Amino acid sequence: MSKTFQFDPDRVAYYEAAGWWAYYDRAWLRLMRLIVGLCQEQFRIPFPASLLAGYYTVRASAAWVPVEHDDRVVQGYLEKFYRIARRYSGLRFDPARAGALEAKYFDVHRVLVGQSDKSEFVQILVELHSELFGITPEQARESAELRVRAAETVDRITSKTSTDVEGDWRSLEGDLRRCYRSIQRELTRVSETPG
């Protein structure tokens, strides 16, 4: 089914960028509202199931905030989210694997803040995008690299080294738009491939 999966990359990017902003402001209720919208846009999760999916995502994010967090708790919430996402999206990913990759993405991002070599970060996102959308690792590379760029912009904002916070939030959303447009383009290529 992933061959016919469609979403609006620009809307998904808007919700994700705004969600990151709410997350870093620790504005959990606003984050919840944005995540519910993201669930509906990206994975076609209808209300009220999108509320439950959003709840699991926010709980995973909040559980991950402490440096000494329980990985099993974070991964458990993410797996619950991905079970709902798979049910409504028609995508065929493994929710346990997707949850594990997302949790690892959280951790790798934290560890590599300020480091110049982001290859591990790119690789985990290649694996996550490939798993979620049923595209090859080669097809997922561009989206992974763009998402890492967006994460680097978040790091600049949250470390207070940004000289243009508003501009950086716009830049971050632009990278996410290009990230999701890349995924949508690759999904279209997969659907047009004979066989």
Q: Is 40 in contact with 47 (CB distance < 8 Å)?
A: yes
The number of distinct structural domains making up the chain is: 1
CA 147 to chain centre: 8
Say what the pLDDT of residue 4 is.
60
Sequential pLDDT tens for the chain (195 residues): 334 688 999 999 999 999 999 988 888 889 889 999 999 999 999 999 999 999 999 899 889 988 899 999 999 999 999 999 999 999 999 999 999 999 999 999 999 998 999 999 999 999 999 999 999 999 999 999 999 999 999 999 999 999 999 999 999 999 999 999 999 999 988 777 765
Say what the pLDDT of residue 191 is.
75
**Containing structural domain, residue 34:** 2-192
Neighbouring residues of 140: CB distance < 8 A, sequence distance ≥ 6: 125, 126, 127, 129, 130, 133, 183, 186
Say what the pLDDT of residue 24 is.
84
